[in-house]
Amino acid sequence: MMMLEFVIGMESMAQLMASLLTVAVVTLTWILVMVALKRRDGKKRLPPSPWGLPVIGHLHLVRPPVHRTFHDMAARLGPLMLLRLGSTLCVVVSSAGVASELIRTHEGKISERPLTAVARQFAYGSDGFAFAPYGAHWRFIKRLCMSELLGPKTVEQLRPIRRATLVSLLQTVLSSSAERVDLTAALIRLANTSIIRMMASTVPESVTDEARALAKAVAELIGAFNVEDHVSVCRGWDLQGLNRRAADVHRGFDAVLEDMIRHKEKARRTRDPKKTVSMDLLDILLDKMEDETAAAEGEVKLTRDKIKAFGLDIVTAGSDTSAAMMEWMLAELMNHPEVLRKLRDEIDAVVGRDRIAGEADVATLPYLQAVYKETLRLRPAAPIANRHSTEEMLVAGGFTVPAGTTVLFNVWSIGRDPAYWDAPQEFRPERFMAGGDSEGLDPRGQHFQYLPFGSGRRACPGMGLVQQFVPAVVAALVQCFDWEVKTIDMEEGEGLVCARKNPLLLRASPRLNPFPALTSSTS
C-alpha cells in the first residue's frame, strides 16, 4: 500500500513538474516575444496600454459585454488604446475623431477583416464574403450586393415576402392577447423567416425551420470566445471543442443550402416561360452563375460554393441584428411612454386606423425615423466593428499601429461621445427631428460620430433593407396594440450581436376596432 501511494505520489509530482516546466517555457517565450517587440518598436510610439500578464496579455481585463469594458478602459487611457489579447495585438478606437482619421486616411490599410478559427469554418475557403480578403472576389460580391441583391429595386420587389412575415407576427400577437407574448422569440422568428424567404421564396417550411435553427447555432459559435484565436500555444488543440461543433454545423447548413438550390433549380426548370415570376435572391444568383458572358468579360465567375457562402452570410448576419434592433426599439418605447404616445399619434395621423402601417409609410413618418435613429445610436446591434491592418500606420497623436493589428471600432462608445452628443446617455429621438442638434445625420457611415452600420468599404451592405424593414415592423406593433406598461430591464447579453439579455415578455391588447384585415398585400 505504501509503495502504491509512493508511486501515485511520484506520478503526481511528475505531472506537477511537467506543468511547471510548461508554464516556465511559455513564460520564457512570452518574455522573449515582449523583448523582441520592444526592440522592434523601441523608436515607435505605441498607443497607451494597461498592464498585462504573461501569455494572456490583457485578456483577464476583458469582461462581457466587451464594448462596455472597452468604454471604461478608454475613459482612463484615451480614445486610441492598445491591448494584447493573448498573442493578438489590438487597437480600440473610441472616438469619432480617431475613427474619421483611420477610415478617411488609412482605409486601404484596414480593408481586411480578422478571420477567427470558427469563422474560417463557415467561409467556404476563399468563397465567402463577410470575412473575405479585400480583392477581386470581395469587390465583385459587394458590387453585386449593392446593385442587384440588396439594391433598392430588389428590396422593393421582395417587400411582399417581408409583409407576409409581419402579418404572421401580428396574428401571433392577436391570438395571444390574453397572455404575455415572448416578443424576443417572435421577432427572431420574423427576421429569420424574412431573410430565408427572401433568399429562397419557394422552399418548404421544414427547410426554413432547419435553416433558422442552424443560423442561431452559427451566430452563437462565431460570437463565442475561442482561446485558440488568442493564445498561440493553444492553436490547433480545439480545447473548447468549438471547431468540432462548427464543422458539424457547417455540414448541416451546407446540406440545407444545397437543398434550397436544388429545389430552386427544379422550380426554374418547370416554370412556365409565359408567366411573370418574382425573382428572389437565389434566382438572381443562379442567373448570374449561368451567365456565360460574365466569364468572357473577365468578371469573377459565380460558383455553387460562392452562392452557398453568400446564403450563409446573409442569413446569419441579417437575422439576429434585425431582430435585436426591433427588440431594443420596442424596449426603449416601453420605458419612455411619452415617446410611445407621440409615435402612435404620428402613425394615427398619417396612416390612420383602417389599415396597418407598412414599409411604404416609413418615409412619411419622421418621428418613427427619429426613434429608430436614436435606438441605433444608443443600442447598435453590432457594437464593435472589426478590421485588420495590412500595413503599419501612423495615426492620431503620433501613435504607430503595427501591421497585422486587429482594429476594433467601438461603435457603442462612439455613439455616446459627449464631444458630439448632448446628454449622450439619454434616449431623445427629438435630437434627430427638424431643428434638433442632430438633424440631417444619417446612419450610412458618412458622419463618424454615428456609425451603427460601420463605414467605408466594409460597411453593412444591407443597411438600405434594414432601414425600411425594422421601423415598419415596430410601427405596426405600436399602431395595432396597446402594450402592458411596465419598466423593461435593459441588460445586455453576450455575443457578437448586442441583444437584450432577458426575453421581452409583454401583454398586448388589440387597439384598433375593428381590427384591419390581416393580408399580405404590399404596403
Q: What CATH number corresponds to the domain at position 334?
A: 1.10.630.10
Distance from C-alpha of 496 to C-alpha of 320, rounded to nearest angstrom = 10
Does residue 13 have a pLDDT over 70? no
The grid cell for 240 is 473548447
DSSP string, 458-473: GS-TTHHHHHHHHHHH
209 lies in a domain? yes
Identify residue 479 by its one-letter amino acid code: Q
198 lies in a domain? yes
35 lies in a domain? no
Does residue 74 have a pLDDT over 60? yes
Does residue 299 have a pLDDT over 80? no
Does residue 7 have a pLDDT over 70? no
Does residue 222 have a pLDDT over 70? yes
Looking at residue 248, what is its pLDDT? 95
Indicate the pLDDT class of residue 295, thresholds 50, 70 and 90. Answer: low
- What's the domain range around 426? 59-510
6 lies in a domain? no
Looking at residue 417, what is its pLDDT? 94
The number of folded domains in the chain is: 1
Residue among 409, 492, 507, 490 nearest 107 (CA): 409
Place of cell 432601414: 467
Does residue 80 have a pLDDT over 90? yes
39 lies in a domain? no
Looking at residue 71, what is its pLDDT? 97
Query: Per residue in 302-361, pLDDT tens?
Result: 999 999 999 999 998 888 899 999 999 999 999 999 999 999 999 999 999 999 999 999
Indicate the pLDDT class of residue 126, thresholds 50, 70 and 90. Answer: confident
Which residue stretches of 158-225 are H helix? 159-175, 183-199, 205-223
- Reduced to 3 states, what is the DSSP secondary structure of residue 315? helix
Edge-first strand order for the sheet with 180-182 is 180-182, 505-510, 481-483
Mean of per-residue pLDDT scores for the chain = 88
Does residue 205 have a pLDDT over 80? yes
Looking at residue 219, what is its pLDDT? 86
Looking at residue 5, what is its pLDDT? 32
pTM: 0.89
370 lies in a domain? yes
Lowest mean pLDDT among 19-33, 164-178, 329-343, 416-430: 19-33
Does residue 243 have a pLDDT over 60? yes
How distant, in Å, are the alpha carbons of 60, 142, 235, 449, 461 from that of 53? Answer: 8, 41, 19, 33, 39
161 lies in a domain? yes
* Beta-bridge mates of residue 401: 393
Looking at residue 239, what is its pLDDT? 86
Looking at residue 296, what is its pLDDT? 52
Does residue 10 have a pLDDT over 80? no
Query: Per residue in 439-469, pLDDT tens?
Result: 999 999 999 999 999 999 999 999 999 999 9
Across the range 60-75, mean pLDDT stands at 95
Does residue 224 have a pLDDT over 90? no
Does residue 202 have a pLDDT over 90? no
Is residue 511 within 8 Å of residue 480, measured between CB atoms? yes
ω before 50 within 30° of 0 (cis)?
Answer: no
121 lies in a domain? yes
Indicate the pLDDT class of residue 515, thresholds 50, 70 and 90. Answer: confident
Looking at residue 52, what is its pLDDT? 93
